[in-house]
Amino acid sequence: MNQTRPVRDYIRTIVDFPHEGILFRDVTTLFADPRGFRMAIDQMLHPWAGQPIDKVAGLEARGFILGGAIAHQLSAGFVPIRKKGKLPGPVISEEYHLEYGEAVVELHDDAIQPGERILLVDDLLATGGTAAAGIRLIERLGGEITGCAFIVDLPDLGGHKRLLEMGMTVHTLCAFAGL
């Protein structure tokens, strides 16, 4: 009998990584399994199937893996939102706060045209800082965020609520309590 495992069952937890007290939700085990990976991609894009999406924006780095596959399935373009200094050519930048400081993400200044409909994707939604910065970049170029899709939600860290407060539609496949 072929039983379908939930996406959550493909994700391993690594204790005390990258710091003591952290339970790291590792999606590479999901990516490595052909059935699990296809299931995750299909479930992530499902709410937007049949809707006009011009581009999928993936947040560095695992969002690139997901975003490319989702863009292919939706027949949409793909644009990377990268850490500072990684994109060639003219970029726009957005600073955001992390637990232990600040970071910057960038987007090519011609990656999105005004009015284009964008789906933002990443593997994990924690505090929502990186996603919020990505949203601000897209909106600065005139893009319209159709929605945000993540595999894992860590609701205790407040990112889901933060994106909802920004007026975003948020779709996640599973949630884990704690850090």
Beta carbons within 8 Å of 60's beta carbon, 6+ residues apart: 80, 81, 82, 83, 86, 105
Residue 1 has pLDDT above 60, yes or no: no
Instruction: Note whether residue 18 is domain-resident.
Output: no
Has 94 been annotated as catalytic?
no
Domain count across the chain: 1
Q: What would the pLDDT profile of 129-151 be if each residue is shown by its tens digit? A: 999 999 999 999 999 999 999 99
Instruction: Note whether residue 92 is domain-resident.
Output: yes
CA distance linking residue 136 with residue 124, whole number of Å: 18
CATH number at residue 60: 3.40.50.2020
Residue 101's domain comprises 52-175
Closest CA to 57 of 91, 107, 97: 107
> Which is catalytic among the residues 62, 82, 94, 116?
62
CA distance linking residue 125 with residue 140, whole number of Å: 22
**Stated pTM of the model:** 0.95
Instruction: Note whether residue 156 is domain-resident.
Output: yes
Instruction: Note whether residue 167 is domain-resident.
Output: yes
> Which is catalytic among the residues 12, 35, 38, 99?
99
Q: What is residue 98's predicted lDDT score, i.e. its pLDDT?
A: 78
